[in-house]
Amino acid sequence: MDSSVPERRLAALVSDWYAEHARELPWRAPGVSAWAVLVSEIMLQQTPVHRVLPVWREWLARWPTPQDLAVEPAAEVIRAWGRLGYPRRALRLHECAKALVDRHAGEVPREVDALLALPGIGSYTARAVAVFAYGDRHPVVDTNVRRFVARAVTALGDAGPPRTVADLAAVEELLPADAADAARASIAFMELGALICTARAPRCADCPVYAECGWQRAGRPAATGPARKVQKFAGTDRQVRGLLMAVLREATAPVPRAALDAVWQDGTQRDRALAGLLDDGLVHRLAGDRYALPT
DNA sequence: TATCCGTGGTA
DNA sequence: TTACCAAGGAT
């Protein structure tokens, strides 16, 4: 790999580190299908690796192709999602499988624009699939990469708010010219952000970029911008939605309204949460004021 | 652009 | 214990 350009030296250093220290994750194994990679990327959106692992294995064993998932009732998909969180992702992934069958002959496309047009796939996931499943050359920018670039290159303590276009351009500057090298660099940046250049207590002593890190050279300045707002969970509609979904996931038959009313005291908030779930298509209302996961 | 959307591990 | 935060996307 050509590491004569200073910015590209970061890619070389981190890629070498990756070769020694990467976790062995099943969706990185040789020969894994693009579908399997896509499923992993959706599950990993805002959900840690160790929680995704068992569910991903179960899903790929049960639904090894998009067609297999597409023909399944939504209720089964939502149940199999279990407690990964954000069950709308499960619904989107189900819709995505159906779109793959309808529009792409059951195959996962490799073009970023085609991937972006699929339900539940945004800027990060589209490029992650194109790069990690197909080996094409694109910048892949997730929260780990943004944090790494903010520190090593921009010399800031933390990344500011996402700026998709600018973020893509900044990472593009770091990528080697060769597609395979660029793909390796992207997964390596993400892994470094996950294991070393972490949000709270970065392990700089173990970092392969220590000597080149702008943040180190600047004396590790504290984050300046407004601290990212951490969303509350306890007491919010999201908690109520989670409680309602848990009841419906575990039910083997449509449940009466009373069973849902039991999960939360505040009727106004409970009604709002249920209305939201109905609107999202995660819950269906049946005759007799009974409720169930969507068929 | 800011907010909403689950769940659980960690310090 | 509380607060942070984890491979984002949709609106």
In chain A, what are the domain boundaries?
A: 6-22+138-217, 33-132, 237-292
- Its CATH class, for the domain covering A6-22+138-217, is mainly alpha
pLDDT-derived band at A155 (thresholds 50, 70, 90) equals very high
Residue A111's identity, in one-letter code, is: E
User: Which candidate, A17, A30, A2, places its Cα nearest to that of A190?
Assistant: A17
pLDDT at A1 over 70: no
pLDDT by residue (tens digit) across A247-274? 999 999 999 999 999 999 999 999 999 9
Please say whether the beta carbons of A67 and A98 come within 8 A.
Answer: no
pLDDT-derived band at A37 (thresholds 50, 70, 90) equals very high
Protein residue at shortest CA distance from C1' of B9 = A48
Among A7, A24, A41, A72, the one annotated catalytic: A41
pLDDT at A178 over 60: yes
Which of helix, strand or coil describes residue A21?
A: helix
Nucleotide closest to residue A27 (CA–C1'): C7
Quick one: A215 exposed, middle or buried, by C-beta within 10 A (0-12, 13-18, 19+)? Answer: buried
- Please give the residue that has the higher pLDDT: either A7 or A35: A35
pLDDT at A230: 85
DSSP classification of residue A4: -
pLDDT at A5: 62
The answer to whether the beta carbon of residue A226 comes closer than 7 angstroms to any atom of strand B is: no
Nucleotide closest to residue A229 (CA–C1'): C4
Nucleotide closest to residue A115 (CA–C1'): C9
Protein residue at shortest CA distance from C1' of B1 = A161
pLDDT-derived band at A171 (thresholds 50, 70, 90) equals very high
pLDDT at A224: 76
Tell me which nucleotides of strand C come within 7 A of a protein CB: 3-10
Protein residue at shortest CA distance from C1' of B10 = A200
The answer to whether the beta carbon of residue A186 comes closer than 7 angstroms to any atom of strand C is: no
pLDDT at A3 over 60: no
DSSP state letters, A49-104: HHHHHHHHHHHHHH--SHHHHHTS-HHHHHHHHTTSS-THHHHHHHHHHHHHHHHH
- Residue count of chain A, please give it: 295
Q: Which CATH architecture has domain A33-132?
A: Orthogonal Bundle (1.10)
pLDDT by residue (tens digit) across A222-242? 887 766 778 899 999 999 999
Tell me which nucleotides of strand B come within 7 A of a protein CB: 1-9, 11
pLDDT at A205: 96
Q: How far is CA A12 from the centre of its chain?
A: 25
Q: What's chain A's average pLDDT?
A: 96
The answer to whether the beta carbon of residue A86 comes closer than 7 angstroms to any atom of strand C is: yes
Residue written as tokens 């693009």? A34
pLDDT at A4 over 70: no
Nucleotide closest to residue A163 (CA–C1'): B1
> Nucleic chain B: which protein residues 189-218 of A have CB below 7 A from it?
200-201
